[in-house]
């Protein structure tokens, strides 16, 4: 079938090929058929959305105020580091008044030497007097208490002698009184910590002019927000909405409070995101995994280092179940660490069940493991791998590459003023502004003069997006981030 020899082509009433329905756009254009057009968009980057992390570890709840405030328990028992011994008078000196006020007359103390003469040794003493003068920094102050050792005459003769300026960590383990004595001590009020955060307002928009809406081009799509099927110009609106939805989570992860005197403080206040909360109140593990060519040695070294992380968790809430969200490199390092202590290593144990089936697929990845009294569940975090996010950053000299976070699983019990009762919430959750008349979790509205929604003389359709929210990270001392 060739080009039509008629002067004017004859259109066909239906989509079919005839010898008179082809257009010769220019002299010599002899292509027999029009170019093939794929209606379906090619998903070049797969699912492009980066959100989903907060949906796994948190929840969303409404709030009505400009600030959310919560309290966290202080430690129940008393332990004070960096206490200095004045050897000649058996007085231990504290750094500030608050620390000195925690020690009371008749307290029994366990003192562990961390620096100076006698390091690594410990001694148990009785507090015989408080508000004692001590020499600190060349001046006399009253931040000391007098102690009497249980096992020797004085501190100078204990454990071959503790010298002046030896540093101790002091732990209160009880008290002791004579018969018929009075209490002779002040009361201690249990301490607590107060934290707060404020919501930020986020906005975005999509706009198309009225003329472009008249030219409809259909495209088959399967977008991140469920816009499956055929769409025309609103396909771009769907992508804008998808990007804004990702920003809802990305901001809660990356956000920073504007420090006093900072450039941003002059216009906005910022809010505390997950990474900022972990940095300020949690723990940071740097270069957690070894990177040599000896897989067995790396696995052993990595396990030792991971045990150090367990020791850190022991000093905090010791929450049994924890989630690990990791980039590709650290996820594989975890797999290698666990495989390295399995069969083939000295003293290792076999893992997995294999029936030697011909169609068996070997699984070289781990989704969870138990170490000590802790359970860990591992998951890849797309946000750390994607080239449009942290996947674009590299580790190196002077560079800090976020490679994962450790989050405790479970909930905490807090009093909700809005609901008027105690409720259980995840350690990480989002609060958004809402009232009976307006919900600012995710507002969308259309303005302009196109599409039947005539609100102005602007010859365009504008789709507006707005949210007002903040993240609450409770018990951040149980969180950890990994960096390389």
Q: What is the DSSP string of 192-227?
A: EEEEEE--EEEEEEEEEEHHHHTS---EEEE-TTS-
Residue in the block written with tokens 């005459």: 153
- Most confident region among 61-75, 241-255, 415-429 by mean pLDDT: 241-255
Q: Would you state the pLDDT for residue 118?
A: 86
Rounded to an integer, the average pLDDT of 144-159 is 86
Question: Which pLDDT score, from 0 to 100, does residue 17 have?
Answer: 57
CA 128 to chain CA mean position, Å: 47
**251, 273 contact by CB (below 8 A):** yes
Check pLDDT > 80 for residue 85.
yes
pLDDT number for residue 452? 73
CB 43 within 8 A of CB 24: no
Work out the percent of the chain whose per-residue pLDDT is above 90: 23
Mean pLDDT within 395-407: 81
Separation of alpha carbons 424 and 430, rounded Å: 14
Q: Alpha helices of 291-355 — where are they, by DSSP H? A: 295-314, 328-340
Give, in order, the Cα–Cα distances in Å from 384 to each of 92, 325, 402, 408.
Answer: 49, 9, 7, 19
Is the pLDDT at 174 greater than 90? The verdict is yes
- Residue 352 in this model has a pLDDT that exceeds 90: no
pLDDT at 141: 65
Q: Looking at residue 48, what DSSP letter applies? A: -
Per the rule left: phi > 0, alpha: psi between -120 and 50, beta: everything else, 30 is alpha
Q: Is a pLDDT exceeding 90 seen at residue 221?
A: no
pLDDT at 220 over 80: no
Q: At residue 2, does pLDDT exceed 70? A: no
Assign 481 a pLDDT band (cuts: 50, 70, 90).
very high
R_g (Cα) of the chain, nearest Å: 33
What pTM does this model have? 0.76
* Position 98 confidence tier, pLDDT thresholds 50, 70, 90: confident
Which span out of 39-43, 331-335, 356-360, 398-402 was modeled with the highest average pLDDT? 331-335
Identify the pLDDT of residue 150. 93
Name the 3-class secondary structure at 177: coil
What DSSP state is assigned to residue 258?
A: P
Mean pLDDT of the chain: 79
Task: Output 388 or 17, whichever has higher pLDDT.
Answer: 388
| Average pLDDT, integer, range 242-249 | 90
Please tell me the least confidently modeled range out of 47-61, 188-202, 250-264, 458-472: 47-61
Lowest mean pLDDT among 26-40, 91-105, 297-311: 26-40
In degrees, rounded to 5, the angle at the alpha carbon of residue 392 between the alpha carbons of residues 390 and 397 is: 90
Identify the H or E element spanning 56: helix 53-57
Position 29 pLDDT exceeds 50: no
The Cα 275–Cα 254 span in angstroms is 6
d(CA 239, CA 206): 10
d(CA 443, CA 468): 9
Question: What is the percentage of the chain residues whose pLDDT exceeds 70?
Answer: 73
Q: What is the mean pLDDT of residues 175-186?
A: 88
Distance CA 118, CA 163 (A): 8
pLDDT at 236 over 80: no
Q: How confident is the model at residue 1 (pLDDT cuts 50, 70, 90)?
A: very low
Higher model confidence: residue 451 or residue 276?
276
Least confident of 58-67, 95-104, 345-354: 345-354
Cβ atoms of 334 and 320 closer than 8 Å: no
In the predicted structure, residue 327 carries a pLDDT above the cut 50: yes
pLDDT at residue 290, rounded to an integer: 66
* Residue 41 in this model has a pLDDT that exceeds 80: no
């Amino acid at each position: 079938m060739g080009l039509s020899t008629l002067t004017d082509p004859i259109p066909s009433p239906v989509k079919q090929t005839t010898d008179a329905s082809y257009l010769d756009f220019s002299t010599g254009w002899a292509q027999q058929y029009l170019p093939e057009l794929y209606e379906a968009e090619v998903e070049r980057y797969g699912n492009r959305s980066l959100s989903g992390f907060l949906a796994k570890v948190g929840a969303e709840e409404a709030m009505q105020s400009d600030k959310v405030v919560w309290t966290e328990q202080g430690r129940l028992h008393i332990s004070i580091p960096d206490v200095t011994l004045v050897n000649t008078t058996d007085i231990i000196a504290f750094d500030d008044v608050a620390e000195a006020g925690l020690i009371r007359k008749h307290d029994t103390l366990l003192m562990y030497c961390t620096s100076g003469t006698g390091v690594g040794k410990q001694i148990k003493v009785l507090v015989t007097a408080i508000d004692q003068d001590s020499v600190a920094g060349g001046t006399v102050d009253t931040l000391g208490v007098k102690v009497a050792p249980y096992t020797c005459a004085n501190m100078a003769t204990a454990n071959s002698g503790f010298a002046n300026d030896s540093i101790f960590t002091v732990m209160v383990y009880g008290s002791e009184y004579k018969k018929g004595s009075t209490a002779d001590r002040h009361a201690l009020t249990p301490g607590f910590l107060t934290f707060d955060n404020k919501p930020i307002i986020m906005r975005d928009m999509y706009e198309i002019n009225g003329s472009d809406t008249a030219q409809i081009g259909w495209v088959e799509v399967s977008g991140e927000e469920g816009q499956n099927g055929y769409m025309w110009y609103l396909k771009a609106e769907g992508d804008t909405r998808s990007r804004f939805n990702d920003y809802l989570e990305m901001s809660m992860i990356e956000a920073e409070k504007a420090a006093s005197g900072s450039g941003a403080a002059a216009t906005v206040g910022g809010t505390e995101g997950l990474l900022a909360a972990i940095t300020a109140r949690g723990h940071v593990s740097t270069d957690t995994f070894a990177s040599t060519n000896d897989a067995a040695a790396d696995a052993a070294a990595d396990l030792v280092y991971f045990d150090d992380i367990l020791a850190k968790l022991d000093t905090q809430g010791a929450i049994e179940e924890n989630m690990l969200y990791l980039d590709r490199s650290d996820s594989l390092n975890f797999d290698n660490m666990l495989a390295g202590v399995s069969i083939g290593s000295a003293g290792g144990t076999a893992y997995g069940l294999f029936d030697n089936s011909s169609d068996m697929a070997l699984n070289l990845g781990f989704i969870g493991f138990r170490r000590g009294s802790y359970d860990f569940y591992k998951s890849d975090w797309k946000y750390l791998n994607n080239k449009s996010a942290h996947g674009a950053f590299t580790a190196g000299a002077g560079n800090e590459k976020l490679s994962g976070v450790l989050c405790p699983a479970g909930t905490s019990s807090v009093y909700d003023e809005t609901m008027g009762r105690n409720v259980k919430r995840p350690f990480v959750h989002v609060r958004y502004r809402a009232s009976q008349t307006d919900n600012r979790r995710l507002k969308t509205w259309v303005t302009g003069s196109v599409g039947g929604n005539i609100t102005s003389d602007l010859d365009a359709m504008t789709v507006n997006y707005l949210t007002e929210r903040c993240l609450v990270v409770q018990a951040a001392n149980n969180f950890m981030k990994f960096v390389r």
